[in-house]
Amino acid sequence: MPGWRRWSGALVAGVALLACTGDDGRLEGDGAPRFEAPAHAPRLALVLGSGGPRGFAHVGALLALEDAGIRPDLVVGSSAGALVGALFAAGIPARDLEALAQEVNVLEFFEWRMATGRPASGRALQDFVNRHLDGRPIERLPIAFAAVAARQDTREIAVFNAGDAGGAVRASSASPGQFEPVRIRGAAFVDGDEASPVPIAAARALGARVVVAVDVSAHAASTPERAPREWVRKDERRAARVRAEAPGADVLVHPDIGYYAGHDADYRRRVIAIARRETERRMPEIRAAVARADLAQPSATVSSLPGVATR
């Protein structure tokens, strides 16, 4: 897979540089992430949900869709889904994403400030995305893309579909307590999981005729008895948010990849395989939804998106 390994040294060097120079998490100027009303309503939107390392499973769903010849016109992602979604929207084939998922070293995203208990800035993630996208802004990607974040003060949804792609993914992935909030044009943003773990409503608001969504969160039935109550409560809040938006999806794929997440190669292979099988199992429904997309009338306008970051 050309190109992936040669970035490794540069990424590690970049992380070391950040340890020395710091990063204030401010993204300003004309190139900063922003929202722009799309000129055309998408035929088929693929929505990829949040989940941290559980997001490796999204690669399995993409493999199944690619094998079936199904290509979305829009990819909308939240948190880990924004990271995978940005790379896919950039034109990186699912099989190359699978190889990248196996090769990527989580230490590439380490910042020395984390060793002192401080939240990471997220700049290493921003740089990782932009390197793999060759510095292209969102509006220049071959597939339309939108990253969903949450406003820190109100937890309202914010949608970024133009500007700095890495910055948009960074904001979408800024999990409170683990990453510093990202300030964009004067407002602070945190992880999209806080507002919309599986951003189906955003895809609909962007005019999608048909929505296929992938939820990689834990199944309630998989929760161990000894799971910390704090984790269980967070899972319940996430599940409630997903249920609120689920009726807006034509197909919602929710593979059961187990409760505990990991980073090792075995975990990555396992969750990719499970998500691929589950997406293949749901393929008749997905194909039927795609057929409906061909028959549905395009939306005349984009619906209102609350809390959107604009110019």
Q: Among this protein's residues, is 73 annotated catalytic?
A: no
* Given the residues 50, 73, 78, 79, the one annotated as active site: 79
**Number of H-type helices and E-type strands within the chain:** 11, 9
- Which amino acid, residue 284? P
292/209 Cα distance (integer angstroms): 8
Please, which residues have CB within 8 angstroms of residue 78's CB and are 6 or more apart in sequence? 48, 49, 50, 147, 148, 172, 191, 192, 193, 196, 197, 198, 199
Q: Which two tokens stand for residue 301?
A: 């306008």
How far, in Å, CA of 285 to CA of 250, rounded?
A: 8
* Tokens representing residue 191 in the block: 């992880």
- Catalytic site residue from 73, 127, 191, 250: 191
Distance from chain centroid for Cα 239: 17
191 carries an active-site annotation: yes
Please identify every residue annotated as catalytic: 79, 191
